[in-house]
């Protein structure tokens, strides 16, 4: 069960550099157990419901919108936006809030960023709860552009429809040109088509709201532009870097929660991570897709949060 809706006890905007400012908030116990929530995408941003994952009597939950996402500004901004920037932003926020170490909770792209952050600053991470694993490797990006459409062919047809046949040999490049076009009449329809495609694929049970939200102008502007930007740049990591870096975090208590029917981030990736990291708890949720809000996924994540709370 989710905890009741809750308002932050503190929030603010943190100026990161001359261009980006980041929205952050804290919920629960000011002296509680520090926890960091990392949203997906990249570019998704946090929603208030994310706050309800964390026991407000125990956790000091810190949530923030990654640069270019959600309430951070400027939304959809690709300049000075890379994995290294986001890792540095997390450290900046940790220092600003006076937190020594924290439990890091991330799904999908949030799992990618959680692994990158933990491998860069293992001494700052007291635990990891990861969901819907995305390692940012070439095969996963190819899957996003072509594999997902095998399960949602009608959505994939809608996704490719705006792209002329002659450009369909490289869908990522074709979309990237349109997503980064300065004319809103060009980039906004491309953003919405990309967001809707992804949103339509996140749930095992039909979830029109997810497609609607991800395809909305507000979310899609940052989600589509940032995802395409990170995909074109191979998430700014060498191929295989996060698996190669496991030696730095093997000792950190960790849980991996994965949906069997996750069409966005298929379980093959989660299994590669789990087999390379046998110390981590691995839980495959049979009747679930990608979204953290799927019943089986949510239940498993809440159980892992209780496990860390009661440890
Ligand atoms: C590779 N990006 C996958 C990701 O982080 C993600 N999956 N679903 C989402 C939305 C909920 C924003 C559609 O984000």
Gap between the Cα atoms of 225 and 84, Å rounded: 18
* Catalytic (active site) residue 290: yes
User: Where do runs of H (alpha helix) occur along the chain?
Assistant: 83-97, 109-120, 138-142, 153-160, 171-179, 184-200, 208-214, 217-232, 241-244, 267-276, 295-310
203 in Cβ contact with 152 (< 8 Å): no
Tell me, what's the pLDDT at 189? 97
Of 112, 115, 85, nearest to 245 by C-alpha is: 115
Say if ligand 1 is within 6 A of residue 258 CB: no
If DSSP codes are grouped into helix, strand and coil, which group holds residue 14? strand
Tell me, what's the pLDDT at 311? 84
Gap between the Cα atoms of 284 and 296, Å rounded: 10
Gap between the Cα atoms of 210 and 298, Å rounded: 15
Tell me, what's the pLDDT at 161? 96
Say if ligand 1 is within 6 A of residue 214 CB: yes
Q: Which of 69, 108, 111, 291 is catalytic?
A: 108
**Strand 281-285 to 254-259 pairing:** parallel
Assembly ipTM: 0.93
Gap between the Cα atoms of 93 and 43, Å rounded: 18
Nearest C-alpha to atom 11 of ligand 1 is from which residue?
Answer: 199
> CA-CA distances (angstroms) from residue 102 to 34, 106, 180, 310?
5, 12, 35, 15
Of 91, 114, 125, 102, nearest to 32 by C-alpha is: 102
DSSP string for residues in 188-252: HHHHHHHHHHHHHTS-SS--HHHHHHHTSHHHHHHHHHHHHHHHHTGGGS-TTHHHHGGGGTTTS
Provide the token pair at 54: 């964390």
φ, ψ dihedrals at 26, nearest 5°: -125, 135
Task: Using the structure block, give the residue that is written with the tokens 């089986």.
Answer: 296
Which residues have CB under 8 Å from 168's CB, separation 6+?
A: 160, 174
Atom of ligand 1 nearest to the CA of 144: 1
Q: What letter would DSSP give residue 143?
A: I
**Strand 10-15 to 21-28 pairing:** antiparallel
Tell me, what's the pLDDT at 70? 97
Of 149, 146, 150, nearest to 171 by C-alpha is: 146
Gap between the Cα atoms of 64 and 83, Å rounded: 15
Beta bridge partners of 21: 15, 73
Task: Using the structure block, give the residue that is written with the tokens 């980064």.
Answer: 180
Atom of ligand 1 nearest to the CA of 198: 13
Tell me, what's the pLDDT at 207? 82
* Catalytic (active site) residue 21: no
* Catalytic (active site) residue 229: no
199 in Cβ contact with 214 (< 8 Å): yes
Q: Which of 20, 72, 290, 291 is catalytic?
A: 290
Of 41, 231, 226, nearest to 138 by C-alpha is: 231
Q: What is the pLDDT tens value at each position of the chain, 311 positions in all? A: 899 999 999 999 999 999 999 999 999 999 999 999 999 999 999 999 999 999 999 999 999 999 999 999 999 999 999 999 999 999 999 999 999 999 999 999 999 999 999 999 999 999 999 999 999 999 999 999 999 999 999 999 999 999 999 999 999 999 999 999 999 999 999 999 999 999 999 999 888 888 899 999 999 999 999 999 999 999 999 999 999 999 999 999 999 999 999 999 999 999 999 999 999 999 999 999 999 999 999 999 999 999 999 98
Gap between the Cα atoms of 61 and 205, Å rounded: 29
If DSSP codes are grouped into helix, strand and coil, which group holds residue 139? helix
């Amino acid at each position: 069960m989710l905890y009741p809706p809750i308002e932050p006890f503190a929030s603010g905007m943190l100026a990161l550099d001359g261009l980006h400012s980041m929205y952050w908030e804290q919920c629960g116990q000011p002296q509680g157990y520090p926890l960091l929530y990392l949203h997906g995408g990249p570019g998704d941003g946090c929603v208030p419901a994310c706050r309800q994952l964390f026991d407000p009597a125990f956790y000091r939950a810190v949530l923030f919108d990654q640069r270019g996402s959600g309430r951070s500004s400027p939304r959809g901004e690709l300049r000075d936006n890379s994995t290294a920037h986001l890792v540095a932003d997390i450290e900046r926020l940790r220092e600003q809030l006076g937190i020594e170490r924290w439990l890091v909770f991330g799904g999908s792209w949030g799992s990618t960023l959680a692994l990158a952050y933990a491998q860069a600053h293992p001494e700052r991470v007291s635990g990891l709860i990861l969901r819907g694993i995305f390692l940012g490797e070439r095969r996963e990006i190819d899957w996003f552009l072509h594999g997902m459409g095998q399960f949602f062919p009608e959505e994939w047809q809608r996704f490719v429809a705006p792209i002329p046949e002659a450009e369909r040999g490289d869908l990522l490049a074709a979309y990237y040109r349109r997503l980064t076009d300065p004319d809103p009449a060009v980039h906004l329809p491309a953003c919405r088509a990309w967001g809707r495609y992804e949103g339509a694929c996140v749930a095992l049970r039909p979830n029109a709201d997810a497609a609607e939200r991800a395809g909305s102008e507000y979310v899609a502007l940052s989600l589509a532009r940032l995802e395409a930007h990170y995909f074109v740049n191979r998430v700014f990591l060498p191929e295989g870097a996060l698996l190669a870096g496991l030696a730095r975090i093997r000792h950190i208590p960790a849980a991996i929660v994965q949906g069997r029917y996750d069409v966005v981030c298929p379980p093959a990736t989660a299994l590669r991570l789990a087999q390379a990291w046998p110390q981590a708890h691995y839980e495959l949720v049979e009747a679930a897709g990608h979204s953290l809000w799927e019943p089986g996924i949510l239940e498993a994540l809440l159980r892992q949060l209780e496990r860390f709370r009661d440890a």
